[in-house]
Amino acid sequence: MSCGRGRECAWSAVDDVTDANSVSRAPGTHIKTNEEVGIKLESCKTKHPQLLYETRLYKILQGGTGVPNVRWYGIEGDYNIMVMDLLGPSLEDLFNFCNRKLSLKTVLMLADQLVSRIEYVHSKSFIHRDIKPDNFLMGLGKRANQVNIIDFGLAKKYRDPKTHLHIPYRENKNLTGTARYASINTHVGIEQSRRDDLESLGYVLIYFLRGSLPWQGLKAATKKQKYEKISEKKMTTPIEVLCKGFPPEFVTYFQVVRSLRFSDKPDYSYLRKLFRDLFIREGYQYDYVFDWTILKYQQTQALTRPTAGLGGQAQAGTSGDQGDQRDTLRRQTTLERQSSATRAAGGKEVLATERSSSFARAYERQRSSSRPLTSRDDDGGRAYQ
């Protein structure tokens, strides 16, 4: 594809473009090297352009552990385009792969990295404002155990990078982020700061342990009423009830982050130590063996296990076992389709197996059937200021 000024881009994308009012993801390859990348596109006509802003933010964050690199940004036809490192599956993908429940060991290993990712973003004078499982992706290859933080379209500078002067306290702000994981202060209209990213992270960790949050599935006539119900449920659910059945360190975590004042700097080291001490007390080893690591290994063993024993006697399992294996293999197949090319820069991507010379043609063909980025489940919608 051309990049303007008579130059040719080094990237090619397949036909995977959604409508003109959303950010889309297309798989891509480097034309000369066939290196797989993630490509993020948005229409130049979108009401809320974010790719240029997001690209600049990635440049500021570049070099940090768990922050993908931007390879290229430019305009192609009617689209703004950002080319990113290719990453693995999101934590939401892996959560689903593991039957929507993660073990304490896996959650604690993740928590250690997640606190560090958020701390790094904050150290660069920005808050993320959309902390959720979808915005953390595992790496690929040698970095398959590294958590990466993505999707900075809603991020905001909370202080002056040079003077460290904090933004002023404000109220009557619109909800920005994802309602399910938004902090209570965000729900009631208070300007977000560092404390809110960490409260959202707390909800993510409990979501992984419990399998769901108490305010999921609430019904309402309008989105505004839905957000109000979620807010009310969060405020009326005691921390002890939210964390019931899990170690007291999670209650302590919420007490600490909810007690922070607007401009307070969180004690990230203390929060990490809180979970590390629990990890050691439980007798776990930091071996990067996550729940999905074990599940994939078990599936591999099941596929390679002999189906007949001595004397030709079959060693088949029960029909129920076979059905469970089929279900698990289906989940694995789905996950591997996602993880082989997955979501770089905030969305799912698939390896480029073919190339397209026209984004516009792909857009016209798929606009009627594809879902926009802002389409979420019942309480996962994004709201913009």
Say whether 130 is catalytic. Answer: yes
Q: What is the pLDDT of residues 195-204, one digit of tens each?
A: 999 999 999 9
pLDDT at residue 372, rounded to an integer:
35
Nearest C-alpha neighbor of 362 from the set 12, 15, 13, 2? 15
H helix runs in the chain, sequence order: 51-61, 91-97, 104-123, 184-187, 194-210, 223-236, 239-242, 249-258, 268-281, 291-304, 319-339, 359-366
Q: What is the fold, at CATH topology level, of the domain defined by 91-281?
A: Transferase(Phosphotransferase); domain 1 (1.10.510)
Report pTM. Answer: 0.79
For 138-197, the three-class secondary structure string (H helix, E strand, C coil) is ECCHHHCCCEEECCCCCCEECECCCCCCECCCCCCCCCCEEHHHCCHHHHCCCCCCHHHH
Question: Averaged over 169-191, what is the pLDDT?
Answer: 97
Q: What is the pLDDT of residues 272-320, one digit of tens each?
A: 999 999 999 999 999 999 999 999 999 888 887 765 554 444 444 444 5
> Residues for the chain: how many in total?
385
pLDDT at residue 354, rounded to an integer:
31
Q: What is the fold, at CATH topology level, of the domain defined by 11-86+349-365?
A: Phosphorylase Kinase; domain 1 (3.30.200)
Instruction: Kindly state the helix (H) or strand (E) to which residue 39 belongs, with its residue range.
Output: strand 36-43
- The percent of residues in the chain predicted with pLDDT above 90, rounded, is 63
- The percent of residues in the chain predicted with pLDDT above 70, rounded, is 72
Q: Pick the catalytic residue: 85, 93, 130, 291?
A: 130
Q: Encoding tokens for residue 48?
A: 């809320």
Q: Encoding tokens for residue 281?
A: 């007390």
Instruction: Kindly state the helix (H) or strand (E) to which residue 383 belongs, with its residue range.
Output: strand 382-383
Domain ranges in the chain? 11-86+349-365, 91-281
Beta-sheet pairing, 382-383 with 177-178:
antiparallel
pLDDT at residue 368, rounded to an integer:
38
**CA–CA dist 231, 228 (Å, integer):** 5
Q: What is the pLDDT of residues 231-257, one digit of tens each?
A: 999 999 999 999 999 999 999 999 999
DSSP 97-133: HTTT---HHHHHHHHHHHHHHHHHHHHTTEE-S--SG
